[in-house]
């Protein structure tokens, strides 16, 4: 059995590297939604036909796509939801009598966007404060409804802040990567929230390893239907502490420039997440993860 990975960003690339038999979608024209939907339908159907022809007992498709972030518009989120829906319908039509698994990448930061001093886990009620968070919740409901109708297994993973090699540096997200890049170029970094803001940072390889086991069915979970899982390190840190870690690792004093932007109001002071169903996935200490990222940046 091979896993079809949709999306080639930070998470999709890391998951692809951890799978034993992965398949990647070809280039998807995400800027042209109708064409993108056609490509996704064709790729999914072809993959399932190929898997069936090889005699695979089941199939797995991992949705790691999407360019949305906190601050994205409702229209952008609606477009991504529509593409996800077309993909799910294609799977349902091609594998109506064939059990399989569907992985959906969601966001703890979006779903629990209001934040607060308490911990959030799978039992916590959603508290989105943005179109991004609302859109992720709508995607989760879409996946759950599809699983209920088709009988397939589906998992929506609410991940905390991922970091690691392969971050898209053209987007204003990925605080750890932007810090390391600022250090590499001896440039200041603009910070739009208080340095005492707390977030959970988890290395993408830790998350990808956990997801690969789920995709390949080696985690022991085989119940049909939809479920939700929080993936985090369980060790929130302040941005000030993270800045000090980067300075210690790189031995470069990164200058910080404070400046607000329209998305600043959507960022809570505290956001602490952990899983209620077992140990958190973050086995890589933040100091080790930053060192690994810095060494990778230096080699590139």
Q: Judge if 92 and 223 occupy the same domain.
A: yes
Q: Minimal CA–CA distance to 273: which of 124, 127, 79, 148?
A: 124
Separation of alpha carbons 194 and 239, rounded Å:
8
Q: Judge if 75 and 221 occupy the same domain.
A: yes
Q: Judge if 295 and 207 occupy the same domain.
A: no
pTM: 0.94
Q: Please indicate, yes or no, if residue 277 is contained in any of the structural domains.
A: no
Looking up residue 222, the CATH number of its domain turns out to be 3.40.50.720
Ramachandran assignment for 177, one of left (phi > 0), alpha (psi -120 to 50 degrees), beta (any other):
alpha
Q: Minimal CA–CA distance to 232: which of 283, 187, 267?
A: 283
Contact 60, 216 (CB under 8 A): yes
Region 78-100 average pLDDT: 96
Q: Judge if 110 and 173 occupy the same domain.
A: no
Return the exposure string of 50-76: e unless at least 16 CB atoms fall within 10 Å of the residue's CB, then b.
ebeeeebeebbbbbbbbebbbbbeeeb
pLDDT band at residue 222, thresholds of 50, 70 and 90?
Answer: low
Query: pLDDT for 3-13, tens place per residue?
Result: 999 999 999 99
Q: Is the pLDDT of residue 220 over 80?
A: no
Q: Judge if 168 and 260 occupy the same domain.
A: yes
Looking up residue 184, the CATH number of its domain turns out to be 3.90.25.10
> In angstroms, how far is CA 224 from the centroid of its own chain?
22
pLDDT band at residue 219, thresholds of 50, 70 and 90?
Answer: low
Q: Judge if 142 and 193 occupy the same domain.
A: no
Range of the domain at 59: 3-162+203-231
The pLDDT assigned to 271 comes to 96
Q: Please indicate, yes or no, if residue 276 is contained in any of the structural domains.
A: no
Please give the tally of structural domains in the chain: 2
Mean pLDDT (the chain, rounded): 93
Q: Judge if 223 and 245 occupy the same domain.
A: no
């Amino acid at each position: 059995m091979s896993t079809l990975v949709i999306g080639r960003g930070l998470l999709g690339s890391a998951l692809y590297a951890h799978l034993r038999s992965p398949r990647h979608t070809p280039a998807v024209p995400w800027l042209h939604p109708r064409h993108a939907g056609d490509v996704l339908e064709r790729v999914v159907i072809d993959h399932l036909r190929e898997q069936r022809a090889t005699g695979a007992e089941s199939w797995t498709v991992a949705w790691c796509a999407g360019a949305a972030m906190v601050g994205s518009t409702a229209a952008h989120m609606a477009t991504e939801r529509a593409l996800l829906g077309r993909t799910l319908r294609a799977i349902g039509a091609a594998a109506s009598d064939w059990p399989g698994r569907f992985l959906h990448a969601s966001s703890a930061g979006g779903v629990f966007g209001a934040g607060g001093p308490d911990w959030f886990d799978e039992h916590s009620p959603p508290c989105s404060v943005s179109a991004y968070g609302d859109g992720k919740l709508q995607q989760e409901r879409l996946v759950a409804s599809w699983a209920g109708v088709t009988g397939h297994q589906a998992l929506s993973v609410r991940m905390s802040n991922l970091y690691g090699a392969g971050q898209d540096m053209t987007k204003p997200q990925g605080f750890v990567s932007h810090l390391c890049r600022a250090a590499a170029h001896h440039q200041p970094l603009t910070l739009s929230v208080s340095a005492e803001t707390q977030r959970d940072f988890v290395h993408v390889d830790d998350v990808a390893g956990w997801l690969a086991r789920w995709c390949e069915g080696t985690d022991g979970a085989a119940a049909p239907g939809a479920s939700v899982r929080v993936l985090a390190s369980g060790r929130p840190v302040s941005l000030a502490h993270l800045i000090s870690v980067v300075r210690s690792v790189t031995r470069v004093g990164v200058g910080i420039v404070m400046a607000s932007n329209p998305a600043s109001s959507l960022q809570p002071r505290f956001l602490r997440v952990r899983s209620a169903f077992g140990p958190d996935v973050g086995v890589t200490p933040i100091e080790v993860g930053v060192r690994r990222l810095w060494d990778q940046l230096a080699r590139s």
